[in-house]
Amino acid sequence: MRRILLFLVTFLPVATFAQGFQVNLAGQKQIGMGHTGTGLAQDGASVFFNPGAVAMLSQNSIQAGISPLLFKSAFNPAGTNDIYRTSNEVGTPFSAYAVWGPKASFWKVGLGVYTPFGGLTNWGNNWEGKYVVESLNLKAIYFQPTISIKLADFISIGGGFVYNHGEVDLSRAIPLANASGQDGQAELKGSGKGYGWNAGVYVKTESGVTVGLSYRSKVKTTINNGDAFFTVPGSLQASFPQPNTFSASLPLPATTTLGLGFYPSKKWTVAFDANLVSWHVYKALEFDYAKNTSALQDTYSPRQYRDAFSLRAGTEYRPVNKWAIRAGGGVASAAARNGYVTPEVPDAKRYYLTGGLGYTLANRLDLDLSFEFEHLFARKQTNIESQLSGTFRSNVYIPGVSLSYHW
């Protein structure tokens, strides 16, 4: 049965990787108000929303919050009545801020640690798209020291430097069956870093309306020497050398936000934010393996994202001294174009509704609770690269809690 040659393993682990899934969970008060806050000077979360407003904060503060996130996505392959669902795994976006300045001074410094991008999607290893992705865990943690200066009573500016620590853990099946018919497995796991900056300006107008404009730069995050694990049938292992490493870079996009604050009464705040995320920087995803073979080539996956926007509104009412109730909502456009939606991040147009409750636990100590429900509109897609075809439907449930101490 000897036959001339002929075997080149040509199974490319076609790279698919998540878009940086944008997570808008940067402060419990702001979540409760529909993610508004750029035009307000509410608390330490201004470090994120608008560093220009930090100098206008009346107090020094330290705060930390967490928003356990449950992303529930379902996929119905085209032409079938099958339904696949992501498993119930809880992401943990968090935020922590510290703001300090001398009393009645014209400046303040701040530090923010927050997770503006991330994704946690686990479709399991037995679903129709397993060769595209089984699971993805992507985290970006930004560390942002900030300084803010009050130029006059009505205007302040601020800016910060951003260091990003990114982590990725991506698994997918490889269509190479072993003697018992089981698939191979690929796992790419690594961490990397990136740098950026942000800046903002905050203005109190004569009419009492407050206005904020902030910009967060692109953060190009580079992963070097990530681990590339390939489990394949023993007779093919030579084509997938182990150990192996990969490098990749992922541009996390710039964000520009304009925010407005209105104060109909002493107890009542209304806020609006308009937000533009410059996703167009995410053109493609490339994986560069340290060891290549005819079967394991470096890969290039087009993404071709387009800029996305969101419009948000929120309100806070303080009926009595110790309590605050908040509500808000917004809509957001999709960054992934038709044909480029992937199951790691089944991007789609979406709306969200939020609510929140603030309570003064003790003098100087606040507790804030938030809840968000986010609905992504059903999106029927055939991915150009993988030809995975079907309809994605997703809902996101995000409760959250934070504590702040201020003085």
Partner 1 sequence: MNKIKNIFLAAAAVSAFAACKTEVKTTEPTHGSADFSRYVAVGNSLTAGYADGGLYLDGQQNSYPSIIAKQMQGAGGGTFTQPLFSADQANGSGYITLTGFDQNGSPVTAPVTSNLAIRGVVNIPSFGNVTTYTKYTGDINNYGVPGIKLLHITLNTYGNLNGYFERLLPGNAGTNTTSYLDFVTAKPFTFFTNWLGNNDALGYATSGGAGDVLTDKATFAQLYTLLLTRMTANGAKGVCATIPDVTSIPYFNTVTPALILANVQKANPAAQAIYINAKSNADPTGTAYAARPATANDLITLTFPTSKIGQPVASAGNLPYGLTPLTPIDNQYVLDANEVAIVKDYVTYYNNTIKSVAASKGIAVADMYTFFNDIAKNGLVVDGVNLNAKFISGGLFSLDGVHLTPRGYAIVANQFIKALNAQYNATVPLANVAQYRSVKFPN
Chain residues that interact with partner 1, rule: CB under 8 A:
1-12, 14, 16, 66, 68, 70, 72-74, 76-83, 85, 88, 90, 126-132, 172, 175-181, 183, 232-236, 361, 367, 369, 371, 385-388, 391, 393-395, 397, 399-401, 403
Cβ of residue 7: shortest distance to partner 1, in angstroms?
Answer: 5
- Pick 52 or 390: Cβ nearer partner 1: 390
Cβ of residue 127: shortest distance to partner 1, in angstroms?
Answer: 8
CA distance 86 to 257: 32
- The first and second tokens of residue 264, run together, are 């109909």
- Pick 87 or 338: Cβ nearer partner 1: 87
Q: Name which of 10, 99, 117 is nearest 47 in CA terms.
A: 99
Cβ of residue 380: shortest distance to partner 1, in angstroms?
Answer: 12
- Pick 81 or 265: Cβ nearer partner 1: 81
Cβ of residue 398: shortest distance to partner 1, in angstroms?
Answer: 9
CB 55 within 8 A of CB 101: yes
Strands 107-122 and 94-100: antiparallel
- Pick 201 or 388: Cβ nearer partner 1: 388
- The first and second tokens of residue 145, run together, are 């020291």
**What residues does 160 pair with on adjacent strands?**
146, 198
Give the sign of the dihedral formed by CA 343, CA 347, CA 349, CA 351. positive
CB 344 within 8 A of CB 17: yes
Residue 243: cis peptide before it, omega within 30 degrees of 0: yes
- Pick 67 or 221: Cβ nearer partner 1: 67
Kindly list the distances between the CA atom of residue 343 and the CA atoms of 24, 173, 305, in Å, as whole numbers in the listed order: 20, 14, 15
- Pick 139 or 172: Cβ nearer partner 1: 172
Cβ of residue 168: shortest distance to partner 1, in angstroms?
Answer: 19
Cβ of residue 279: shortest distance to partner 1, in angstroms?
Answer: 23
- Pick 279 or 289: Cβ nearer partner 1: 289
Cβ of residue 238: shortest distance to partner 1, in angstroms?
Answer: 9
End-to-end alpha-carbon separation of the chain, Å? Answer: 83
Cβ of residue 27: shortest distance to partner 1, in angstroms?
Answer: 16
Other Cβ atoms closer than 10 A to 273: 30
Letter for the amino acid at 393? R
**What residues does 187 pair with on adjacent strands?**
171, 229
Cα angle for residues 228, 191, 46 (degrees, 5° grid) = 150
Grouping H, G, I as helix, E, B as strand and the rest as coil, residue 28 is helix
Kindly list the distances between the CA atom of residue 302 and the CA atoms of 131, 194, 278, 314, 383, in Å, as whole numbers in the listed order: 17, 22, 17, 36, 11
- Pick 222 or 395: Cβ nearer partner 1: 395
Cβ of residue 87: shortest distance to partner 1, in angstroms?
Answer: 10
Q: Name which of 165, 159, 218, 214 is nearest 192 in CA terms.
A: 165
Give the sign of the dihedral formed by CA 280, CA 284, CA 287, CA 292. negative
CA distance 204 to 155: 6
- Pick 43 or 183: Cβ nearer partner 1: 183
- Pick 69 or 162: Cβ nearer partner 1: 69
Cβ of residue 62: shortest distance to partner 1, in angstroms?
Answer: 13
Q: Name which of 230, 250, 152, 149 is nearest 186 in CA terms.
A: 230
